[in-house]
Chains A and B, each alone.
Chain A
């Protein structure tokens, strides 16, 4: 049980690092996927530990939603790249005031 949780925490930290530190939008998107998988791993681990299957169902649902979210994220970045010619996140400032 500890190993699963440690792995999950490591994954979360790696994902957070990617989200906060990397400039490439695609990498950030991938990092978010890692964070999401860390939480899904938690669902599965607690489900097997307690014998309650609803965690398994939540994990499946989370994977499906993550896939959809990845598709939307990629589409957003594609659109940004087409209009601004770049997906470097520190250059994208049009959410400002």
Chain B
């Protein structure tokens, strides 16, 4: 089966083949390091922002509300209210630190706001379901990857211990650079969870190039069901799938110079005269007939990868 996946699926070194539970091989593109770093910074900025807003809100409630209690001489009530706010604050901070990533990655989109903006998401490496356990595991590891060295660094700064700061920096670098050291750019959390971070594909269904009257200058084609050119099998057999796809791309891009050049090349190769001004019609006809020929051979089980084969 792997031979049936053409080079088309290997566009960049970040491309991988993933097999769905139905047994279908899908090309999947790993998220770039830049996208992941960007997503992380956006998320951290958002978490920090939320923490600060929560703290300020609770503090202002505390100062505003407490005055009322003490004005009324209700000291016990004042302390009770203060304690309640403090409990909320502790739990809120804990949740922001530990549950922010969990909450969003457990959602149907499998991505935090930062990841969504960066166009990436979390997926199961084995092609199966992204389970709650995976999301929990990959985010628990964030604690040693991200938060621990920061806390460590902050506490080390107080005592002015250079060695501790160095150790924290080294620790942080080991985990930050972890994705650089393995093929699939897994961070420690991804390894433990069996997940990876991939790009979200976006693609529209384009026009078929091989049907009559689809071209940009289709109006001038006259009766489209009768092609202006009929190519013989010998004329079609000089090219393979690779050239067919190149031709498809040229037609979709629809740039005059490119089409002139390609028409010249093809006409030269099969021994016909190039026809200036009718490049697109010529190429459309050649494309449709070459595809028909190659697809017919494909159904017979023989494939022609390119002009050399």
Tell me if chain B binds chain A: no
Partner-B contacts on A (CB < 8 A): none
